[in-house]
Amino acid sequence: MSSVDRPVRAYVESTIIMTTARIVSPFVFTFGLFVMFHGAESAGGGFQGGAIVASSIIVVAFAFGIEPTRQWLDDSIFRLLIAGGAAAFALIGLGAMALGGAFLEYAVYNISHGVKYGIELVELGIGATVAGVIVSLFMNLAAGLTNDADGGDET
């Protein structure tokens, strides 16, 4: 989509929205972590939790403007989240193999409640990847709308 004659609405600060986002987003973030940690024994898990965590960051981006948020959270943080999360999953799985078990066989780690902690770590890893992907998708889409001139679709 090249430069269509559409008036680009400037970002307008709103005290009400900023205050609300500032108060709400930490709770949303915490709730996301809560959902992730519940992957082991009840409804919940990395995908849902990751989406909730990402939404808390997107709320901040809406309230405080997308560019300031981009400066606050650098792109490399999300790269690290995406790769690190999935890598944690793979490493936990491969670690079990190194100890002589099957892939993802948590029991061989020989920690008390090892299975539960193992699943929770894997869920955290998935959550980090999901949150990272959603926020970077959001940032890329937002960049496509605002900086059309310098090819916003560059990944």
Partner 1 sequence: MTDALVLLVVVPIVASLLPVLLGGRFDRLGWYVAAAMGVVHLALSATVAALVIDTGRISYAVGGFEPPFGIELVADGISAPLLVLVSLSTLGVLAYARRAGPHSNAFYSELSLLTAGISGVFATADVFNLYVFLEITGLATYALVACGRSPRAALASLKYLFVGTIGASLYLLGVGYLYITTGTLNMADLAVAIDSVGYTSPAVLASFGLIVTGLLVKVALFPLHTWQPGAYAESPDTVSAYISALVSTAAAYALIRLIFGVYTTGFLDAVPLVTDVLVALASVSIVVGAALAVMQSDLKRMLAYSSVSQFGLIIAAIGIANETALVGAVVHLVGHAVMKGGLFLAVGVFTVAFGVRNVDDFAGLAGRAPVVSAAFAVLAFSMVGIPPAVGFVGKWNIVVGAVEAGRWSVAVVVVVSTLLTLAYFGRVIERMYFTAPATLGDTEGAAVSTDGGDNVTEASVGMRSVVVLAAVGTVVLGFVGSELINVIQPALEAYF
* Site residues (vs partner 1, CB under 8 A): 76, 79-80, 82-84, 86-87, 90, 93-94, 96-97, 101-108, 155
> Which residue is it, tokens 């955290």?
124
Which C-beta is closer to partner 1: that of 59 or that of 82?
Answer: 82
For residue 28, the Cα-to-chain-centroid distance in whole angstroms is: 12
Give the shortest CB-96-to-partner 1 separation in angstroms.
8
Give the shortest CB-113-to-partner 1 separation in angstroms.
16
Which amino acid makes up residue 116?
K
The SS3 of residue 145 is: helix
CA distance 100 to 103: 9
Give the shortest CB-98-to-partner 1 separation in angstroms.
10
For residue 127, the Cα-to-chain-centroid distance in whole angstroms is: 6
Which C-beta is closer to partner 1: that of 24 or that of 91?
Answer: 91
Compute, in degrees rounded to 10, the torsion defined by CA atoms 61, 66, 69, 73: 100
Which C-beta is closer to partner 1: that of 17 or that of 87?
Answer: 87
DSSP 8-state symbol, 107: G
Which C-beta is closer to partner 1: that of 48 or that of 63?
Answer: 48
Structure tokens, 89: 């999953």
